[in-house]
């Protein structure tokens, strides 16, 4: 069964079409990444699926259930790590977790147990009774993620979860996200970090201007272009050519030797695919 199914989702703000009818689905247990430039509509998509923004049209289902007809049931299944921090700064970490647990109908006992087990990963135990206001940005983000996991959502929405985190914490978080997936949670992730999508996602969707450009496995997206890329420095920027194997790429470089331009040979990555399919950089 599909964990999430989105059909022709639309949203306009005062005549401006932020989502122009997008459709996609998430298989149960997969990590699905929405990749796109600023203003593409990633956050809008997540906000609609979490009940924060009114849909302008279309349908959406969690495990076959129409979420616009059953908003409260749908919200029970979902966990959200929003792009913008939304913690109570003047409450302690524990109080933030407590309120969240009660909002999702957990008992005090469940909140304590689940909170305890999440402390392992989050490293927040020592700060549990500190006000959120006194925590660093990265710690706040970890509180945000811990909170979203507290009610054991079956579908997790992560809107740029690692923004502003140092590389160590980011890598720790990637590990955590993988572990959450292994426990059977389905994850929809948005990110600006290509390597994040490449590392985490089973499938990637490129979104641009409120439209889904293409959806596929990362390796399929890159192999559509080739295996190797040659960047050629030009007066008006960078041109990239793609080659099926190393030999043909090297032949090309040799043929350009006379012109004296700077070229670099490297492997094709997901960023190439994004640029190729959307005509833009992320």
Partner 1 sequence: MKGFLAVYLRELLIMWHRLPRMVLSFSVSPVLYLVAFGLGLGKHITIHGRPYLEFLIPGLVAASSMMQGFGINVEINVARFYMRVFEEIQAAPVSNLAYVLGEILAGVSRAFLSVSIILFITALARVSFSYGPAFWAGVFLNSFIFAALGVTSAMLIKSHADQALVSNFIITPMAFLGGTFFPVGNMPGPVQIILKTLPLTHASRLIRQAAYGQKILWNDLGILVALAGASLLLAYWSVDKARD
Ligand X SMILES: Nc1ncnc2c1ncn2[C@@H]1O[C@H](COP(=O)(O)OP(=O)(O)OP(=O)(O)O)[C@@H](O)[C@H]1O
Contact positions vs Mg ion (CB under 5 A) = 42-43, 83
Q: Which of 8, 13, 178, 219 binds ligand X (CB under 6 A)?
A: 13
Distance of alpha carbon 259 from alpha carbon 250, whole angstroms: 15
- Segment near ligand X (CB under 6 A); pick from 41-49, 149-157, 180-188, 223-231: 41-49
Q: Quick one: which of 239, 169, 126 has its CA closest to 134?
A: 126
Q: How far is the CB of 129 from Mg ion (least distance, A)?
A: 32
Distance of alpha carbon 22 from alpha carbon 9, whole angstroms: 5
Rounded (10°) angle between helices 137-149 and 167-182: 0
Rg of the chain over CA atoms, in angstroms?
Answer: 21
Q: Quick one: which of 93, 6, 94 has its CA closest to 57?
A: 6
For position 258 contacting partner 1 by CB under 8 A, the verdict is no
For position 40 contacting ligand X by CB under 6 A, the verdict is yes
- Segment near partner 1 (CB under 8 A); pick from 82-90, 134-142, 165-173, 216-224: 82-90
Q: Which of 89, 113, 123, 195 binds partner 1 (CB under 8 A)?
A: 89
For position 84 contacting ligand X by CB under 6 A, the verdict is no
Q: How far is the CB of 121 from ligand X (least distance, A)?
A: 26
For position 73 contacting partner 1 by CB under 8 A, the verdict is yes
- Segment near ligand X (CB under 6 A); pick from 32-40, 141-149, 167-175, 224-232: 32-40
Q: Does residue 81 contact residue 150 with C-beta atoms inside 8 Å?
A: no
Distance of alpha carbon 172 from alpha carbon 121, whole angstroms: 9
């Amino acid at each position: 069964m599909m964990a999430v199914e989105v059909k022709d989702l639309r949203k306009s703000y005062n005549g401006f079409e932020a989502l122009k009818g997008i459709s996609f689905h998430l298989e149960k247990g997969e990590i699905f990444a929405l990749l796109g430039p600023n203003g593409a509509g990633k956050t809008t998509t997540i906000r609609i699926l979490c009940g924060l923004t009114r849909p302008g049209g279309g349908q959406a289902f969690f495990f076959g259930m129409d979420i616009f007809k059953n908003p409260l049931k749908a919200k029970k299944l979902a966990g959200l790590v929003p792009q913008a921090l939304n913690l109570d700064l003047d409450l302690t970490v524990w109080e933030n977790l407590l309120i969240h647990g009660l909002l999702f109908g957990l008992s005090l006992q469940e909140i304590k147990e689940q909170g305890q087990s999440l402390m392992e990963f989050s490293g927040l135990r020592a700060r549990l009774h500190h006000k959120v206001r006194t925590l660093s940005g990265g710690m706040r983000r970890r509180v945000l993620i811990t909170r979203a996991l507290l009610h054991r959502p079956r579908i997790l929405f992560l809107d740029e979860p690692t923004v502003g985190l140092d590389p160590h914490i980011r890598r720790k978080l990637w590990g955590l996200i993988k572990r959450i997936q292994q426990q059977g949670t389905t994850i929809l992730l948005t990110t600006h970090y290509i390597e994040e999508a490449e590392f985490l996602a089973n499938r990637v969707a490129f979104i641009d201007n409120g439209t889904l450009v293409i959806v596929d496995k990362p390796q399929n997206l890159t192999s559509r272009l080739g295996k190797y890329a040659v960047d050629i420095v030009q007066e008006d920027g960078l041109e990239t050519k793609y080659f099926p194997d190393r030999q043909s790429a090297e032949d090309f470089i040799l043929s350009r030797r006379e012109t004296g331009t700077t070229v670099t040979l490297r492997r094709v990555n997901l960023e190439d695919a994004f640029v190729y399919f959307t005509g833009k950089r992320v």
